[in-house]
Amino acid sequence: MAKLVQGGWLTEGGIEPVDDPLRALEEGGPSAGDASVRDGSGLPFEPPEVWCAGVTYERSREARIAETQVKDVYSLVYDADRPELFLKDASCRRTVGPGRPVGVRADSTWTVPEPELGLVIGDAGRILGAIAGNDLTARDIEGVNPLYLPQAKLFAAACSLGPVVLTPDEWPAEFEIRCRILSADTVVWEAETSTGQMKRSFEELVSWLVRDNPVPPGTVLLTGTGLVPPDDVALSPGQRVEVSVTGLGTLANPVVAAADLIAERSNANV
């Protein structure tokens, strides 16, 4: 199986450089064999856009029904032909790679990770690969009113992706997805699921995304989460989130305040 990492194709002899990551994915690459991803590897490439699908697992539907304070729209979209799709990021302004901090909003007391399988999309909606992703969400903000979804989903470092893109030629029948929240070395919460629990297929979600929508090649579509922490678990600065997916390795990110990230960027530009 071929694995694209930051800098090129992962091989047993090291990294084989590529000039254009998307063209490399279109053409395919050498086998990674037993080679593993080094710690701290960055984004394999910078997606021009990141989109998300919502309520694609039964667990996600149940959690959204429990949190919402308004009429249940989540069962309706779970059973509808048309999926929930929303833009998470553009130009990689809110997306980070492995080892980089992810943020939590100051006006939320209930921000959680949403571990997901991401699809890398090429020309004409062709699926080029799979990548692990984390769609951080302020559940308390979304729960007040679904119209607050953009504020619940979009903030500094609200998305992480990596560490590899796995080409489709040797995908497993189902991807196992595991998530852990750690405080120092103590596991605060962990759970696992698989893409076999998804309501919709990858192809179905992509077909809706590109329908009358000019999605640029290299876009990543996160396919929804089947892992939702219980109500008494929320992310806080100082913790770490790990998302592990079959064949894709582990995406690990420390947690910090989103406001601190914005302040750091402002100071760097002074």
pTM for this model (two decimals): 0.93
Residue 127 located in a structural domain: yes
What does each C-alpha distance from 53 to 87, 114, 226, 261 come to in angstroms?
Answer: 9, 11, 12, 26
Residue 74 pLDDT: 77
Residue 206 located in a structural domain: yes
Residue 33 located in a structural domain: no
Q: Alpha-carbon distance 94 to 88, whole Å? A: 8
Percent of the chain with pLDDT over 90: 79
Residue 17 located in a structural domain: no
Which residue range is the domain that position 233 belongs to?
Answer: 48-268
Residue 84 located in a structural domain: yes
Q: What is the mean pLDDT of the chain?
A: 92
Instruction: Please say if the pLDDT value at position 142 is more than 80.
Output: yes
Instruction: Please say if the pLDDT value at position 61 is more than 70.
Output: no
Instruction: Please say if the pLDDT value at position 62 is more than 80.
Output: no
- CATH of residue 115: 3.90.850.10
Residue 164 located in a structural domain: yes
Instruction: Please say if the pLDDT value at position 146 is more than 90.
Output: no
The total number of structural domains in the chain stands at 1
Residue 175 pLDDT: 97
Q: Which amino acid is at 217?
A: P
Residue 195 located in a structural domain: yes
Residue 68 located in a structural domain: yes
